[in-house]
Structures are given as structure tokens and as C-alpha cells.
């Protein structure tokens, strides 16, 4: 597939991340694409639902599985013809869920240094051997700078709202991007 095509879908995922930011959530968004169209889009809802498992990917998976048109019958690997575009590398929890659902492939924006499950911390997508579930390819770097900058926008606001505000110097939005990974991914 052309790079432009990947970027087109990643822009849709970024829209979901923007929605998360507006709602006061860590800005991570995703879309699932099947047969050249978005079948589900979601964003992080952990604060809203007070549930740390409500990451964008799992929100979208729940929607897909509950929708009779998208999942007409039970299947061992309901996402085998579906690709995921997500602004931040899936965490270990989501990377595992995606493997158990048989996801076709994953494209992400920036890496997740803290808890990345597609290589940054653990290679749940394929580095880790599993006797049953097929591995999947995960490729980063699509709209990476946008993905990092929106995370920084979130954390800078969070710092401003802290009971003891940090110095102004810390609140200046850093716009230069380090070459490898995001430093503020959740
Ligand atoms: Zn996750």
C-alpha cells in the first residue's frame, strides 16, 4: 500500500486523538480499517470511565465485536482482515488483545517508552512466542511528530492545572522532536 494511504488513515486516528485531548484524556486515538474503509474509530476514555483498561484500541474492538454487520458471527480471529492505525504504539495490554483477535497488521505514530507492546518494552506482536495466536507486523513512524506534539499539549495543560504550578520554563511547549521515541507516551 502507498505511504499516502497509511497517512490518510493515520490522520483519521489523529482526529480521534484531538477528540481525546478536548475531553481531557491522554490524547491517543485510533481507527480500524477493513476493505479500504474505517469500520471503527475510538479514543482513550480512561478518565471519563475511571477505568484504566479503556484504551482507544479496546474501545474500538468492543464496538466492532458488538456490531452485527461488522461481526456477523463468532470467529476465532475476528480482525484477521482488519488493520489498525493508532497514534501511539499499542501498550502491552492492547498489543496482546490485538494478537488474540488476530489483527492483520498495525501502523502507529510514535513509540511508547513506558509500556509499548510492539517492541519498545516488549514485542508482544511477534517477538514473544505464542503457541497459538499468529504474530502480526507493527510499523511505527506515521504522523509521528503530530502524535508526540499532541501528547505534549496534554501534559503541559496537566502541569498548569497541578496544585503547585511548575515554573514557567517547564510550561513552554517543546517543539523539537527527539529522533527515536516519544518521552510522554502513556
Ligand atoms: Zn493500550
Dist. CA 116 → ligand 1 center (Å): 8
Dist. CA 152 → ligand 1 center (Å): 18
Mean pLDDT of the chain: 91
pLDDT of 173 over the 80 cut: no
pLDDT of residue 185: 45
Dist. CA 177 → ligand 1 center (Å): 23
Q: Residue for cell digits 512466542?
A: 129
Q: Choose the weakest-confidence range: 1-5, 54-58, 83-87, 159-163.
A: 159-163
User: In 3-state terms, what secondary structure has residue 30?
Assistant: strand
C-alpha cell at 11: 490522520
Q: Residue for cell digits 486523538?
A: 17
- Each residue's pLDDT tens digit, 12-38: 999 999 999 999 999 999 999 999 999
Dist. CA 55 → ligand 1 center (Å): 5
- Say what the pTM is: 0.88
- Cβ atoms of 100 and 122 closer than 8 Å: no
Dist. CA 140 → ligand 1 center (Å): 15
Which neighbouring-strand residues pair with 116?
91
What does the alpha-carbon distance between residue 57 and residue 88 come to, in Å, rounded to a whole number? 10
pLDDT band with cut points at 50, 70 and 90 for residue 79? very high
pLDDT of 186 over the 60 cut: no
Q: What percent of the chain has pLDDT over 90?
A: 82
pLDDT of residue 184: 45
C-alpha cell at 44: 482513550
Dist. CA 16 → ligand 1 center (Å): 15
| Domains (range + CATH), the chain | 1-156 (3.40.140.10)
Which is higher by pLDDT, 179 or 9?
Answer: 9
pLDDT of residue 1: 60
Q: Looking at residues 129-137, what average pLDDT do you find? A: 96
Catalytic residue numbers read: 57
With a CB cutoff of 8 Å and minimum separation 6, the contacts of 139 are 105, 106, 107, 108
Amino acid at each position: 500500500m502507498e505511504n499516502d494511504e497509511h497517512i490518510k488513515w493515520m490522520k483519521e486516528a489523529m482526529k480521534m486523538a484531538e477528540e481525546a485531548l478536548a475531553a481531557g484524556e491522554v490524547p491517543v486515538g485510533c481507527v480500524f480499517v477493513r476493505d479500504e474503509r474505517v469500520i471503527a474509530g475510538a479514543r482513550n476514555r480512561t478518565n471519563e470511565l475511571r477505568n484504566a483498561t479503556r484504551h482507544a484500541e479496546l474501545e474500538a474492538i468492543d464496538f466492532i465485536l458488538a456490531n452485527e454487520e461488522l461481526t456477523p458471527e463468532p470467529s476465532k480471529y475476528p480482525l484477521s482482515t482488519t488493520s489498525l492505525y493508532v497514534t501511539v504504539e499499542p501498550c502491552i495490554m492492547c498489543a496482546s488483545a490485538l494478537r488474540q483477535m488476530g489483527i492483520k497488521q498495525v501502523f502507529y505514530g510514535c513509540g511508547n517508552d513506558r509500556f509499548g507492546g510492539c517492541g519498545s518494552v516488549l514485542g508482544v506482536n511477534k517477538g514473544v512466542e505464542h503457541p497459538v495466536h499468529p504474530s502480526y507486523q507493527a510499523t511505527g513512524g506515521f504522523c509521528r511528530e503530530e502524535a508526540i506534539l499532541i501528547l505534549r499539549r496534554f501534559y503541559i495543560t496537566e502541569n498548569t492545572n497541578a496544585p503547585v504550578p511548575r515554573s514557567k520554563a517547564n510550561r513552554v511547549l517543546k517543539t523539537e522532536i527527539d529522533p527515536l521515541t516519544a518521552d510522554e507516551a502513556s
